[in-house]
Amino acid sequence: MSISRRKFLGWVGAAGVGTVVARSAHASGNKHFEGYPGSFGVLHDMTRCVGCRSCEAACNHVNSLPAPEQPFTDLSVLMQERRTTEKSFTVVNKYSVASRQTPLFRKIQCNHCLEPACASACFVKAFQKTSTGAVIYDPSVCVGCRYCMIACPFEIPAYEYNEALSPRVMKCTLCYPRISQGQLPGCVEACPMEALTFGKREDLIETARERIRQFPGRYVDHIYGETEMGGTSWLYLSGVPFSQVGMREDLGVTPAPELTFGALSVVPIVAGLWPVLLTGIYAISKRKEIIFQQELEAVKKAAQSRSKEEI
């Protein structure tokens, strides 16, 4: 059985380092982290979104992603519910709600949690929450364990299963290279309806509250992402309950690392059995090989003896 270096490091790392890091992540989760002061975020006002997919096209362009099978001008894709993939960091879904004459549209991407579960679950620290608000990924240290995919409550990270040599975990980066240089995220810059607003997270929360105050009949009195899972850098306003546009309302306000620790702390233990199992398989294989060689030698000696007797 051939084992790639990436898989081997994943098994060994999970067995040793993983347990220690998981414990420290849980300990750090005992104190709620409210985000870096002045960090950025995006407010998505779903009442303004028209489902034009301009954000998808812009995201594809700025991240140099492969072109989709259907062009971004083809709105027929909105007829089916989609999720982000390793080739699509953001998607727009359409929702028909009984209480509304017109549909609602929701843009889906990484929410860039204040305390990201992906970062807390990653024992090699491939994921990092930056002071800009973006959660970024370093593929050079990733061992492909995919704990991040298990941990994420929003089911965002996607894996490059078709990349045999160096697969990566792919997701929205909040256009970290762009915002680090004072530019807008690609999706925000491209939105023709101003359904996406970029700015400091605390300012976006105030903007959202002011819209709710001015137009109470237009919005649900809640800013999704302000407190969910301890808070996210991506915030949402909606004209209907968030569950009606495919969003979870059972997440609570506890940061994800605290919730995932119990389950994920078991994963390194399970993964830790792999080196033991592999050692056992190796020992059994070697034992079989020794027995085979002994039997082969016995057969050779018996054949040689018969040959001498015949002579």
CB within 8 A of 147, min separation 6: which ones? 121, 122, 123, 264, 267
Q: What number is the average pLDDT over the span 243-268?
A: 76
Whether residue 124 is predicted with pLDDT greater than 90 in this model: the reply is: yes
pLDDT for 240: 97
Question: pLDDT band at residue 289, thresholds of 50, 70 and 90?
Answer: low
Question: What letter does residue 66 receive in the DSSP assignment?
Answer: P
Whether residue 100 is predicted with pLDDT greater than 70 in this model: the reply is: yes
pLDDT for 263: 53
Whether residue 261 is predicted with pLDDT greater than 80 in this model: the reply is: no
Low-confidence winner among 32-36, 47-51, 56-60, 172-176 (lowest mean pLDDT) = 32-36
Strand ranges for the chain from DSSP E: 40-45, 91-95, 104-108, 127-129, 135-137, 158-159, 169-170, 196-200, 234-237
pLDDT for 165: 86
Whether residue 94 is predicted with pLDDT greater than 80 in this model: the reply is: yes
Q: Indicate the SS3 state at residue 245.
A: helix
pLDDT for 267: 54
Low-confidence winner among 171-180, 208-217, 288-297 (lowest mean pLDDT) = 288-297
